[in-house]
Structures are given as C-alpha cells and as structure tokens.
Amino acid sequence: MYYKISKLVVAAAIFPFLISCEEKETQEPPQKPNIIYIMADDHTTQAFGIYGSRLASLNPTPNLDKLAGEGIIFDNCFVNNSICVPSRAAILTGQNSQANGVIDLEGELTADKQYLPKELKKLGYQTAIVGKWHLHAEPSEFDYYKVLPGQGNYFDPDFMVRGEKPWPENVVQTTGHSSDVITDITLDWLKNERDPNKPFFLMHHFKAPHDDFENAPRYDEYLADTFIPEPESMYDNANNGSVGTRGKNDSLTRIIGSSVSSRNLVRNQAMNLYMDSTVYKQYRNPAEINPDEYVKWEMSSDEKKHTSMVYQEYLKRYLRCVKGVDDNVKRLLDYLEEEGLLENTIIIYTGDQGFMLGEHDYIDKRWMYEEAMRMPFFVRYPEKIKAGTRTDAIINNTDFAPTLIEMAGGSAPEYMQGHSFKAILETGQEPEDWQKSTYYRYWMHMAHKHGNPAHFGIRTKQYKLIFFYGRYWVDTDNPNAKWNKESWGNDFSRHTPAAWELYDLSKDPNEMNNVYSDPAYKGVVADLKHQLIELRENLNETDKNYPHIQKVIDEHWNDK
C-alpha cells in the first residue's frame, strides 16, 4: 500500500513539471512590435501645437499633438541636409551624403543601399512603403511598394507598383486627393496585403504639405477668416546672415533666398500663388538681373501690406494641406485601434526636413537656419515609452535607421554612421556619452531659383556655426567639367562670397544676431571649429574630393 501511494505522490509531483516543460517547448517567442514610420513632406515644427511656435494657438495638428503626448517628443531633431532626396537617403541608409552617395536631388538610392528594409527583413519583418519615394531607383528591397513618381500629383495621383514590366512602367491610376489616397492604400495593405503571421515595417509617406500647396476641397474654408500670426523677422531681418547670404551692402539679397516679399527679384512667393496674375511663374534668370537692381532692399509701407497679403495666403494654403495630413493620421490610428494593433505598434511621426514659413523673409527649406534644419519627431509605443516624455537630446536623421533596427531586436550595423537612441526612447534620459552636436551640409549651390549658397556647419545645444563657401560641388570654372546644365533654375556657376555665421541660441533662439565677429565669442568660435573639423573627418565629410571647395575653406578658415 505504501508503495502504491508513493508512486502516486511521485507522479503527482512530476506531472506539473512535465506539463510545464511541454508548454515551454510549444510557447511562441515574444511578439516583435510592428513599426509604422509616418513622414510628411516639408512638415515643419512651426506647424504643430506641441512645438509652441507662433502658430500653436491655431491648433493645426490636434491628432498629431495627441499622438505625440502619448509618447516621447524630441525638441532637437535635425536633418543633415535640408532637401528631400538626400534626407530620405540618410533615413534609409543611416549615413551622411558622401557615404551614401546622395548629395542632391539628382542622387538615387539603388537596391544595394536600401539598407533599412534589408536589415529589418533579416529580423523577420514584412516591409512596405506607400506614398512619396523620390529616390529614383526602384524601391525593390521592400516587399511591397506603391509610390508616387517623383513629386507626384496632389490630385488623382499615379503610383508605381511592382509588376510584369520593368520599373518604372507599372503604373496605377487613382482618383482623389493624395493625402486621402495614400492613406487608403496603406489601410488596404494593412487589411488585405500584409502577412498577419509576421511583424510589419510600413513607411507611410505623405506628399503634403510640399509646394505647390493644393488641399482637398473640404478644407477650402479652413482658416479663411483667421489672421495668421506673422514672424517679425519677415519685415526686419536685423543682424541675421553675413556677406555670404546678403552680399556687400546687402546687394545680393535681391537674388539670394527666395522670399515672401518682393525682395528676391528671381523667385518670390507671389509668383507661386496667384495663377490669375501677371507674375505667376514669371521667375527671372539671375544672369539677367541688371546691375542697377542690385541695391539694398527696403520694406516700404506698401510692400509691407503686399508681404502680409502674400504671407496670409501662403500659410493658409500650407496649413490646409497640414490639416489633411492630421486628419488622415487619425484615420490610420483609428484602424489600428479597431484591429487591436495599436498597442504593439511603434508609431513614428516626422517630416523629411523643416520649412521656412516666412522667417527671415524666406520660403522653402535648404538653409541651416532652425526652421529648415529642425525636424518634428515623436514616437509612441506604450510598452517601452512613457507617455508625456520630452527630451532635448540631439538626434539627426542618420540616427533613425540604427534606432529602428535596435527597436526591432537587431543590432545597428557598423556601416551606419548614425547612432541608436533606443535608450533615450525607453528611459527619457540622455546618456552621458551621447552626441553633443550634429553636422549639416547643403550641397545644391544656387539651385532652382531659390538662391541658397552652399554651406556646412555644426549645431550644439547652445551654438550654431555655419560656413558659407559659395561654390557648386562641380568645379564650374573648369572648362572640361560636366554637370547637369539642364537642371531647372540652376545658377551653379555663380560664386557667392565666403563667410561665417555664429548664433548663440541660448540668447538668440531666432538667429537674429550673427556674433561671429564679436570678440567675446573668440573662444567659442575656436572650439566649434575644432569640433567641426573632427566631425567632418569622422563622418568622411571632408572636401578632399572637391579641391576647388577645399581651396575656399583654406583661404577663409581663419577669417575674423
């Protein structure tokens, strides 16, 4: 009897262990998070509530603000080159322009360099991209794509897809406004195309609010009777800039920096907005500006009225496109919540760069000034990221890919120059050894009648040092040099003056006072130049392959 009882006791003791072992053998590994990367084109930090700009009171992005409040907001996220194609290449490669080979709008990202989808597929992810691509080569490393040709159209856009014909001949036509259509395509992919047994990585790229601004008709009356707050620097640029951006006696302000006002004789915003006017698209050729027109710009009372009128129309069109983006993000979030996907999905929102909304009387992007260089960036993922978190840690768009790879359970590859900020996302704290600065370079000297001189620089939390070297990346003085002379609106062969600019952002956040020549900042300048040299060498961003540019650097490095 004792023997029988002992066998039962032993069996009872062992049985749960056997069940436990069996459960462990059949238990599925922890589910990896889905990742949705949402990016709007030229959506700048001024056009949000959360970034506290003069436009915040208009409440332009209630849905995006809510999303941001449920995660972490980055106040110091910066683009490395404020123009569409190079920025997108940096995001997908984790590399700066010279490393990935995409320095301007003509660069293309071939399959061998589409690193982010490659790495995430290694980790078991299904990958997809919908909307604006703009990197010219086929996005073949994505499992699924449906992308706009080039900039694409705001209304009834065509999309390029994978098909029987060679890229880019497989084209699908759609009807509607692009922000709505792009979201429709994403929702269809989530519902009908994705593999529910795999985690997914989806890049959802809006065309909006890129110029020329065309909103869906339902927003025609949005802000119609609202006065849009105006930046003071649109009327008085004080001591912003240098001879590199203003010319001697401010003469070059007539061709440098496309403007809201009539200041820029080549391209100003009235030429972009008023289709029924005599000035619409009547851009001038810089070479044909008469010598007597190179005079210092004066803002008369009549011109101030004109500038305000243009600005109000400019901002309303822009913000109507932003409104369409904000509403469509809500559509996407609502679907994720309905399907139970929201909590296990990392959601990132950003723009591909910043954008000038009249600050310093500038339109478009390209500048290293704050409004063009700063990117909106926030992330929601409740499992790892505490709601209501905010950080001033410096990140840039080369850091995105390493971070996403680590969030997906991998390790950032050594060939990527960016750094993973996964620890900042999950703790809200900036590590002691985290990067203290970020590098910037704009290569497209005097392009597209926007008239932005080529420049590079360094930005820390307190200071920004910029060097305008004023040369195209091809040596246009060489009679045997070849470049795309058919590039629209190029003034590549014009040399603009070399000059330095320094801004003390702790005292001058709007960059209204260039203190480079102030003796009080002599030590700051020396330190920042030393850091800039190190950054350029570490990132392989020197000009050893561009001796005509290096010559200018050598001649002006020690300018007072």
pLDDT of residue 7: 41
CA distance 167 to 260: 39
Query: 421-447 as b/e, with b when 16 or more CB fall inside 10 Å?
Result: bbebbbeeebeeeebebbbbbbbbbbb
The pairs formed by 415-422 with CB atoms below 8 angstroms and a separation of 24 or more are 415/94, 415/95, 415/115, 416/93, 416/94, 416/95, 416/115, 417/94, 417/95, 417/96, 417/99, 417/539, 418/90, 418/94, 418/95, 421/393, 421/395
Residues of the chain with pLDDT under 70: 1-30
Backbone angles phi, psi at 528, to 5 degrees: -65, -35
**3-state SS track over 219-252:** HCCCCCCCCCCCCHHHCCCCECCCHHHHCHHHHH
CA distance 179 to 325: 6
pLDDT of residue 30: 67
pLDDT of residue 31: 87
CA distance 400 to 416: 10
pLDDT of residue 24: 44
CA distance 303 to 501: 28
Q: What six digits make up the tokens of 385?
A: 């990221």
pLDDT of residue 29: 59
pTM: 0.94
State pLDDT tens for residues 263-298.
999 999 999 999 888 999 999 999 999 999 999 999
pLDDT of residue 5: 40
First to last CA, the chain: 103
CA 423 to each of CA 343, 376, 427, 432: distance values in angstroms, whole numbers, following the listed order: 20, 19, 6, 12
Q: Are 277 and 309 in contact (CB under 8 A)?
A: no
